[in-house]
Chain A
Amino acid sequence: MSTLSERILGAAAGEYVDRKIDRAYVHDGTGVLTLETWKQMGAKRLSDIPQFYVLFDHIIPANNSTTATLQHELREFACGSFLHFSDIGGGICHQLMSEGVVLPGEVVVGADSHSCTPGAFGAFSTGVGATDMAGIWLTGETWFRVPDSIGIHLSGSLQGGAEAKDLALSYVSRLGMDGGTYCALEFIGEGVKTLPMDDRLTLCNLSVETGAKTGMFYADDVTTRYLAGAGQKAKAQVPESCIYSRELEFDLADIVPLVAVSPRVDKVKPVQDLVGLSLDQVFIGTCTNGRSSDLARCANIVKGRKVAVRTIVVPASRAVLAEAIRTGVLADLVGAGCTIGTPGCGPCLGAHMGVLGEGEVCLSTANRNFRNRMGVGGEIYLSSVATAATSALTGEITEPEAD
């Protein structure tokens, strides 16, 4: 009788295990430091075991010559090695790993904190730093402390203008910014069946904002159908009765549109309480909310109208962009006055493509609103796509309408 983490890692919560890694990925930011550190370890070639990925997403295209030079070195290495490489415009690392790559039951690490995202497939997927990753390049394995698990029981289905992001902000608010530290969040219960993969990815993505090691869903019919669509065969995982260190319950029908107020992800209020707050920028995208269903929802809201504030939309991947072109979503967004960015992280990390000025306020669909993150003196509020798109039309925080 074990949690999904215990089952995949093969040991009981609290134990330390050495585990071979199935897939390991870095991006243009952490990859530079990983490569440098790996060379310092005296390494000549990559371990044979995991599948390795170098996925450029953070500052792409390069914003200055220093960045370009660092990226050039990593690109040369990646192209000369037996690893998977995605250059600028391919998309966000977590998204690319979620487009039919990560499979149920795998152990996956990414050199980025939001590497908890592919846990949505029933994998054990978590973030590590660059030096840990260099060790994995060298040996193909690393150590883990098998986490305690927090059970998040879901019932009912989302109603009205509420989205998975609102549920995510709800659990972050309930747990707080360190309430999940060292734990895995397991999303379980009847309500899970109502959530498509895009929603599950959003929910797992925010798990690290509680300090959690990962967020996980058991692979079910939704998972296997999604993976089959991407050409992958996978089996469903059957939950066993197990012991959770803590349990939370959410009736999805009770979830309302929410906003995380600058500068804390766990400082969450109903949109209702912030209506009228003036905005300078709206940003829709990121590994949280830059997927096809997100862009489609945004387009449904702004189609045939005009945004009242600068609105940046960044698809999470090239596949998402291609889908938006194919379905006409992109034309609707551009027609409404949205600015489209290169698939990737966009301005989320405050390095380029939408940095905020002193005193400016941004409503973003991302996962972090830390002080100064998107620009010194700028303030970030976090919301769902529907809230962000509706607010873009008015230039102030506005409640989304029911679908």
Chain B
Amino acid sequence: MHGAGHAVCLGPDIDTDVIIAGRFLRTKDHSIWVSHVFEDLDPALAGQLNGAVIVAGKNFGCGSSREQAAIALREAGVVAVVAPGFARIFFRNAINVGLPAIECSLSCIKGANVRFDLAAGWIETGGSQYPIRPLSPRMREILAAGGLVNYWRAHR
């Protein structure tokens, strides 16, 4: 699985409350999450996410287990999230909804093109290539299926 997008740079310890605030959770309308994504961090961010690769600091997605955070990013057009490390529930949620979460320390250049190949295990930006921490075989299968819903539809 491979992809590419423009870099959107974020700091460390981005919690799921700032990805999508608790007051917007009670709906099935995913477009509401897209329109309020990152609102409490920086309202301008929402407009930059389509086709983006988020390059963040450590511990991305910490805090609440709310899966709406991963869904909001995917539906906003985020191609992948790259961070030196993720909070574990967000990490599982991202893979389960088909959003690549890539463990790698990358210096972020705002707007620069970022390319990655999960199977080959690399990510590339600013002319340099970096190795990424491999996913487990099960996680790669789930991601390749487009998420856990499709995975289980195919496996049962």
Residues of A within 8 A of B (CB): 16, 29-30, 32-33, 36-37, 40-42, 59, 66-67, 70, 111-113, 115, 127-132, 134-135, 138-139, 143, 145, 177-178, 181-182, 211, 213, 264, 349-351, 368, 370-373, 376
Contacts and interface: CB of A to CB of B under 8 A. Distances in A.
A36 B13 CA distance: 29
B91 to A, nearest CB: 9
Contacts, number: 125
Contact of B89 (A59, A113, A264): A113
A113 B17 contact: no
Nearest to B147: A131
A350 B25 contact: no
A177 B88 CA distance: 12
B40 to A, nearest CB: 4
Interface stretch (B47-55, B122-130, B148-156): B148-156
A97 to B, nearest CB: 15
B96 A177 contact: no
B63 A368 contact: yes
Contacts of A59: 26
Of A131, A139, A370, the most chain B CB neighbours within 10 A belong to A131
Given A30-B66, A115-B65, A134-B149, 12 more contacts: A36-B28, A112-B64, A128-B89, A131-B67, A135-B152, A177-B59, A178-B59, A349-B22, A349-B64, A350-B22, A368-B64, A370-B18
Interface string B2-39: 00000000000101011001110111100000000000
A99 to B, nearest CB: 22
B56 interface: no
B87 A368 contact: no
B97 A131 contact: yes
B156 A138 contact: yes
A70 B27 CA distance: 7
A45 B72 CA distance: 28
A376 B93 CA distance: 26
B108 interface: no
A181 B88 contact: yes
A113 B17 CA distance: 12
Of A132, A143, A182, the most chain B CB neighbours within 10 A belong to A132
Given A111-B65, A182-B88, A129 B70 contact: yes
B8 to A, nearest CB: 19
A373 B19 CA distance: 11
Contacts of A113: 63-65, 89
A322 to B, nearest CB: 28
Given A16-B136, A128-B89, A135-B152, A30 B67 contact: yes
B92 interface: yes
Contacts of A128: 65, 89, 92
A370 B149 contact: no
B23 A211 contact: no
Given A29-B26, A128-B92, A129-B65, A40 B149 contact: yes
Contacts of A40: 149, 153
B26 A70 contact: yes
A36 B67 CA distance: 13
Given A129-B70, A131-B96, A373-B17, A42 B153 contact: yes
10 shortest A-B CB distances, which residue pairs? Answer: A178-B59, A129-B93, A131-B96, A129-B67, A113-B65, A372-B40, A349-B22, A130-B67, A67-B26, A370-B17
